Amino acid sequence: MAINKNNQLKALHCCYTAGTGGGKSVAVQYAEMMPKSPCLAIFDPYGDYVYQTGSKLDIGFAGKRVYHYSSRKAFAIAFFDAWGTKRPFRIAYKPAKPSRTEMLWFCELMWHAADGTRRLDVVIEEVAKWCDTTGKEQSALGECLTGGRKFGLVIHTVFQRSTEVPKTVLSQSPYKIIGIQEAKADAKRMAEECSIEIEQIAALEPLTYIKKLPGWGNVEQLDLRNVFN
Ligand SMILES: Nc1ncnc2c1ncn2[C@@H]1O[C@H](COP(=O)(O)OP(=O)(O)O)[C@@H](O)[C@H]1O
Ligand SMILES: [Mg+2]
């Protein structure tokens, strides 16, 4: 059960949306929504953050090692060990058979660990795949998004199409990073969410984004094309 409720904590949840290859995972690592030394747990069903020893590419999480586990038991033990040290860590759950049930199990664990005196960053990749509504998400994921801020949770949700995610994901995330959109319906949805013109979204290129901050029409341009140079 989440402990140490602190109503004064601000919601820092962020969603990241772009077509495939648009730079969602790059933005999660480099859009500066993540602390430099995070306590970070990732639901990483496709291994986007797998660390490769000796690779020249900047893989892992922003070049740092991520520890992956594919069984619930091994992940839960490693996660609580890491969280218990009170030191930064990057850890991922990559279930053998990703499913909504696995995603919700992961969210329940995060809710259980949440502590209003400490920030815990949580990434959920491809969130649309694990959701079956575009309405209210009434589950452990919904609970993390709606109640999590008071307990130090910062939820980073990643998805390709905004028209396929629960509205809870969009409405509870005051920060939004929008990359290239493949469908007009998704671009329109995000333009409305950010109170900007759809043309601004249509003009985006891979690894360029519009970053929505809290507040009406409060947006910035973000360019991560040079991040690997
Ligand atoms: N480690 C890396 N080194 C160099 N380029 C990368 C690396 N990771 C991603 N990229 C570039 O960024 C693009 C977007 O990648 P990514 O963020 O994984 O897309 P998405 O998550 O939206 O599918 C890739 O097509 C690739 O060109
Ligand atoms: Mg990705």
pLDDT, residue 53, reads 75
Centre of ligand 2 from the C-alpha of residue 208, in Å: 15
End-to-end Cα separation, the chain, in angstroms: 43
Q: How far apart, in whole angstroms, are the C-alpha atoms of residue 49 and residue 45?
A: 10
Residue 90 has φ and ψ, to the nearest 5°, of -135, 120
In this structure, the number of other CB atoms found within 10 A of the CB of residue 163 comes to 14
Centre of ligand 1 from the C-alpha of residue 205, in Å: 13
pLDDT, residue 1, reads 84
Q: What are the mean pLDDT values of the chain's consecutive 10-residue runs (229 residues total)? A: 94 97 96 97 96 73 95 98 97 98 98 98 97 94 97 98 96 98 96 95 97 94 94
Residue 12 has φ and ψ, to the nearest 5°, of -115, 10
Asked whether 26 lines ligand 1 (CB < 6 A), one says yes
CATH class of 14-22+32-178: alpha beta
Ligand 1 atom with the smallest distance to the CA of 48 is 18
| Strand partners for 177 | 16, 211
Instruction: Give one DSSP letter per residue of 82-104, joined into a string.
Output: HHHHTS-EEEEE--SS--HHHHH
pLDDT, residue 55, reads 66
pLDDT, residue 58, reads 56
Centre of ligand 2 from the C-alpha of residue 44, in Å: 9
Q: Give the number of C-alpha atoms closer than 13 A to the C-alpha of residue 162, restricted to the C-beta side.
A: 27
Q: Where along the chain do its domains lie?
A: 14-22+32-178
At position 109, the amino acid (one-letter code) is L
Asked whether 23 lines ligand 1 (CB < 6 A), one says yes
Protein residues within 5 Å, CB atom, of ion ligand 2: 24-25, 48
Whole-structure pTM value? 0.96
What is the pairing mode between strands 39-43 and 14-17? Answer: unpaired
Hey, is 79 helix, strand or coil? helix
pLDDT, residue 4, reads 97
